[in-house]
Amino acid sequence: MMNLADKLTSPVFQTMSDVADRLGLETYVVGGYVRDLLLRRPCKDIDFVCVGSGINLAEAAAKALNPKINVNVFKNFGTAQFRYEDLDLEFVGARKESYQRDSRKPIVEEGTLQDDQNRRDFTINALAISLNKKTFGELIDPFNGIADMDTGVIRTPLDPDITFSDDPLRMMRAIRFATQLNFYIEPETLASIARNKDRISIISQERITTELNKIILAKKPSIGFRLLEETGLLAIILPEMQKLKGVQTVDDKSHKDNFYHTLQVLDNITFSTNDLWLRWAAILHDIAKPPTKRFEPGIGWTFHGHEVLGSKWVPRIFRNLKLPTGGEMKFVQKMVYLHLRPIALTKEEITDSALRRLLFEAGDDIDSLMKLCEADITSKNKAKVNRYLQRFEMVRQKLKDVEERDSIRNFQPPVSGELIMQVFNITPSREVGIIKDKIKEAILEGDIKNDYQQAYDMMLRLGAELGLKPVS
Ligand code: CTP
């Protein structure tokens, strides 16, 4: 039997061992912590299971670690939790039915360690290490989780139809672990997900989206999206993305498959950002291509306006997914809306006014936008990709020059609406808006500088044209 005593270095485990023996409780560390220990992934959440009362164990453990600790007890669920230093410690009594940390189901029946392991989600999450003195460090691995970890397999301990019907969120978890760990899902388990996909509807959107975001934050999110698509889950949880899949051909001309293109953009962007929202922008940048698709004889496939329609869809998609609808959503909308602009710039002569307009619209998100556009270049032709990237580099340089000169990124009108009203002694009105807008346009066009005096003079001229007289 494998012994992992030398890996249990945190002093918490010694204390737990003392407490467990003193209470005469068979006690183990189980689940994600054991998995991550073996995979050498950092983990701050430790789950303890004992054969008996998890609540008693938690209370005694807290007292032994530090009498001041406050234990959170969930009596109905037979669980308890507390924080110790940077660790989150959870305690549960072994049970015969499904164990889900965030489930609201009360416990029904106490069980043995084996019962408890049976009801966990995957073989790699069903490993337990004994903490009692006599057997300290011994690994209990009834389903060959170690072998699955070595070969990189996600597999349910029981018949997958049973494990997934215990908690359908586990279908998302299987795909999430496969993505995070770069494991493959054992064929029977995968087939069961496809069979049971509709059961995901009984799971709250928040829990589904938490898993989805973990997939998106992985190193190679496309692994997860391919699996979501293959199993049919994607069509249920994000149907707009499912619709990107497929290729149509007219007159021997095909457009690219926008689902796989999107996945590549998403993988590309993971090299340049950990930002969840920029990754969401990558997912949604072409989302409105299907309804804007046209075949135009002599031209080919076009998707006119997909960036505008796509950005309009973002709020609905965010609401459906229960994603935050504040600044994060606005950012994604802006990225989708502007995603064609830098590439358009590289195709023509790059004028300062075009650069100023882009800076004005993107503001402080200009760098994120450039990253998205660079990720959007997915041609298989390396020379072509390099050519584009070089041009983007040039755009970045020019943006920097223009910004240094004209400070457009955080554009504040050099003459304010209040000043306009004061100078002409008028109340808020259409004229104020017209004057402000024309001044902004003149600055972006380069007709005047982003400067108080030039803007002031222009205001006087525009006022005169509108029949306004400055008060002396
Ligand atoms: N578990 C389960 N079914 C679920 C959720 C959890 O069987 N739907 C079990 C697994 O044994 C899991 C343990 O509870 O390892 C702890 O769950 P949780 O903390 O949610 O996940 P971890 O596996 O620790 O992974 P992560 O921290 O990455 O979410």
Q: What is the CATH number of the domain that holds 170?
A: 1.10.110.30
- The response to whether residue 169 sits with its C-beta less than 6 Å from ligand 1 reads yes
CA distance 354 to 237: 39
- Are 59 and 162 part of one and the same domain? no
- Are 106 and 23 part of one and the same domain? yes
CA distance 61 to 67: 9
Q: What is the CATH number of the domain that holds 67?
A: 3.30.460.10
Mark which of 118, 146, 174 sits at the end of a domain: 146
Query: 74 with 32: CB under 8 angstroms?
Result: no
What is the Å distance from ligand 1's center to 46 Cα?
A: 11
- The response to whether residue 164 sits with its C-beta less than 6 Å from ligand 1 reads no
- Are 163 and 218 part of one and the same domain? yes
Mark which of 95, 117, 146 sits at the end of a domain: 146
CA distance 461 to 423: 12
Local confidence pLDDT in tens for the 472 residues of the chain: 899 999 999 999 999 999 999 999 999 999 999 999 999 999 999 999 999 999 999 999 999 999 999 999 998 888 999 999 999 999 999 988 776 666 666 666 789 999 999 999 999 999 999 999 999 999 999 999 999 999 999 999 999 999 999 999 999 999 999 999 999 999 999 999 999 999 999 999 999 999 999 999 999 999 999 999 999 999 999 999 999 999 999 988 999 999 999 999 999 999 999 999 999 999 999 999 999 999 999 899 999 999 999 999 999 999 999 999 999 999 999 999 999 999 888 877 888 889 999 999 999 999 999 999 999 999 999 999 999 999 999 999 999 998 988 888 888 888 999 999 999 999 999 999 999 999 999 999 889 988 899 999 999 999 999 999 998 7
Q: Does 108 map to a domain?
A: yes
DSSP one-letter string for 234-282: HHHH-HHHHTT----EETTEE---HHHHHHHHHHHHHHH---HHHHHHH
Mark which of 237, 264, 291 sits at the end of a domain: 237
- Are 39 and 163 part of one and the same domain? no
Secondary-structure breakdown of the chain: helix, strand, coil percentages, each rounded to the nearest 5: 60, 10, 30
Q: Does 314 map to a domain?
A: no
* Alpha-helix runs per DSSP H in 91-168: 113-118, 145-151, 160-166
> What number does the ligand 1 atom closest to the CA of 180 have?
28
- Are 110 and 193 part of one and the same domain? no
Ligand 1 atom 23, closest CA: 32
Lookup: tokens for 92: 């549960």
Query: 227 with 191: CB under 8 angstroms?
Result: no
**Diameter of the chain by CA atoms?**
96
The pLDDT value given to residue 101: 64
CA distance 328 to 342: 21
Q: Does 330 map to a domain?
A: no
Which candidate, 294, 380, 367, 307, places its Cα nearest to that of 337? 307
- Are 183 and 231 part of one and the same domain? yes
- Are 122 and 189 part of one and the same domain? no
- The response to whether residue 77 sits with its C-beta less than 6 Å from ligand 1 reads no
The pLDDT value given to residue 98: 74
Tens-digit pLDDT profile for residues 332-374: 999 999 999 998 888 778 888 899 999 999 999 999 999 999 9
Q: Does 197 map to a domain?
A: yes
At residue 264's C-alpha, the angle toward residues 259 and 266, to 5°, is 95
Q: Does 451 map to a domain?
A: yes
> What number does the ligand 1 atom closest to the CA of 98 have?
7
The pLDDT value given to residue 107: 63
What is the Å distance from ligand 1's center to 155 Cα?
A: 14
Q: What are phi and psi of 28, to 5 degrees?
A: -135, 155
- Are 158 and 207 part of one and the same domain? yes
What is the total count of domains within the chain? Answer: 3
Domain hosting 436: range is: 417-465
Mutate-to-test residue for ligand 1 from 98, 124, 125, 196, highest number of ligand atoms within 8 A of CB: 125
CA distance 348 to 436: 29
- Are 84 and 57 part of one and the same domain? yes
Query: 345 with 357: CB under 8 angstroms?
Result: no
CA 402 to chain centre: 33
What is this structure's pTM? 0.91
Residue 417: enclosing H or E segment and its boundaries?
helix 417-424
- Are 80 and 128 part of one and the same domain? yes
Q: Does 248 map to a domain?
A: no
- The response to whether residue 214 sits with its C-beta less than 6 Å from ligand 1 reads no
Q: Does 28 map to a domain?
A: yes
- Are 140 and 156 part of one and the same domain? no
Mutate-to-test residue for ligand 1 from 43, 101, 177, highest number of ligand atoms within 8 A of CB: 101
What is the Å distance from ligand 1's center to 94 Cα?
A: 15
Q: Does 442 map to a domain?
A: yes
HSE, side-chain direction, 13 A CA sphere, residue 175: 34
What is the Å distance from ligand 1's center to 38 Cα?
A: 16
Which candidate, 437, 294, 293, places its Cα nearest to that of 360? 437
The pLDDT value given to residue 302: 95
Which candidate, 113, 73, 77, 105, places its Cα nearest to that of 89? 73
- Are 83 and 168 part of one and the same domain? no
What is the Å distance from ligand 1's center to 175 Cα?
A: 13
- The response to whether residue 170 sits with its C-beta less than 6 Å from ligand 1 reads yes
